Structure 1
């Protein structure tokens, strides 16, 4: 299929883009526009209950988490944003439907609470019409998992489970989240010991978003999409989006912190 020239940046303020995003059905978010001119989106309800984002440092994963989470928030979702750097998602602190946690103790407690919320939702047995969708956005997930494991060891008692209850809660959200309208956007690579390893990616993440990846990362996380791409585009915001057995080179939507806060607190305001 013929490729088209994409802009080096696909800003939320670009002509007609905001309208295109706002016209999407509930549960669907625009990832970006492919080099074939196709709108590439993720559908949490029928295609991909969770999203895996995996990039090298500076590859745009934080921007991707912000854009996707903001779109679901605009549709009425709530969000739990886990931000171990404490400064990557300051936009989240300004929004009433977002719980932002940065320090590891707060992240641990939030995930333990998530386990209780997941159980409550599952007990509703599908009667979730009045329950808002919950997005769990995990930035720097591999670092977060390591810190959670170490944190649990500092006060784990003899009869306590070996696995951190926070890590167990995240794993349960991945396996049972679809039935409870709980969806994880996971920035990182599934840990070899936590979350079941890369097999989790194949079973639970039907949408995998990759940038600045190695050949080994591609073979582990996107084997269904065929050979490793021969060349990666160096433009900021350019990703390979793998869905089922297809891959799309995609320029992602860029939403700044200000874009998100203005959009979600004053939906009638014009684009900045």
Structure 2
């Protein structure tokens, strides 16, 4: 299939791109434009309600988390942004509908709180019309989950469960999220040993960059042999319904996000 020449960076300020993003229905967000010229989006209502992003260090996963989360916030969602680097998502601190947590204690407490919110939503038995969608954006998930497990061991009592309640809460959000309008954007490789067997199957959209052949076989087995991973900035392989789309992702800077969400009438980025 003939490839389309794409810009080196697909910036939010590019002509007509913002209008294209704002025209998407609620629950949908633009990942980027494929090399065949097709708009590649995720639809949280039509597909599995979670998104998996997996890249090597410097592969752009933080950029994807920021762009997708911002688009759902623009549609009226709330967000819990878990930022173990503490500085990767500073944009989140400026927004009233976003809870930003960085240190392990804060992330632990936020996820325990998520368990209570998930139960509250499930108790509504589907009556969620007035309940905002909740996006849980978990950056560097593999490292974070290990930190949570160690943190729990520092004060776990004899009668407490062995598994960290924060990790249990995340697993519950993954399995029951659709019914509660809770959606996880997970940056990492979901481990069966931590999140339970089959956890990776909960992600209908998988976004990969700088991957190994083993990672491809594990996370995108239905998409055929692993393509050659590229080093082009912002270029990903998006796997949906067993098909991989080489895609240039939308780049939204911290300033883009804050300006867009705090002053939606401002067309300047």
What is the match of residue 67 of structure 1? 67
SS of the counterpart of 1:110? helix
Where do 4+ consecutive residues of structure 1 move more than 4 Å? none
What is the match of residue 250 of structure 1? 247
Looking at structure 2, the residues matched to 127 and 232 of structure 1 have their Cα atoms a distance apart, in angstroms, of: 44
Task: Calculate the aligned-residue CA RMSD, in Å.
Answer: 0.7
Q: 1:210-238, CA deviations, whole angstroms, 9 ceiling, x for partnerless residues?
A: 00000000000000111111x22321000
What is the match of residue 212 of structure 2? 214
Alignment TM-score, normalising by the size of structure 1: 0.98
SS of the counterpart of 2:193? coil
The answer to whether the 8 Å contact 2:6/2:248 transfers is yes
What is the match of residue 114 of structure 1? 114
Looking at structure 1, the residues matched to 13 and 268 of structure 2 have their Cα atoms a distance apart, in angstroms, of: 5
Query: Number of aligned pairs?
Result: 269
Where do 1:93-172 residues align within 5 Å?
93-172=93-172
The answer to whether the 8 Å contact 1:42/1:48 transfers is no
CA positional deviation for 1:38: 0.2
Alignment TM-score, normalising by the size of structure 2: 0.99
The answer to whether the 8 Å contact 2:191/2:199 transfers is no
Looking at structure 1, the residues matched to 226 and 239 of structure 2 have their Cα atoms a distance apart, in angstroms, of: 12
Where do 1:53-92 residues align within 5 Å?
53-92=53-92
SS of the counterpart of 1:8? coil
Q: Return 5+ residue gaps in structure 1 as ranges.
A: none
SS of the counterpart of 2:31? strand
Q: 1:31-50, CA deviations, whole angstroms, 9 ceiling, x for partnerless residues?
A: 00000000000000011300
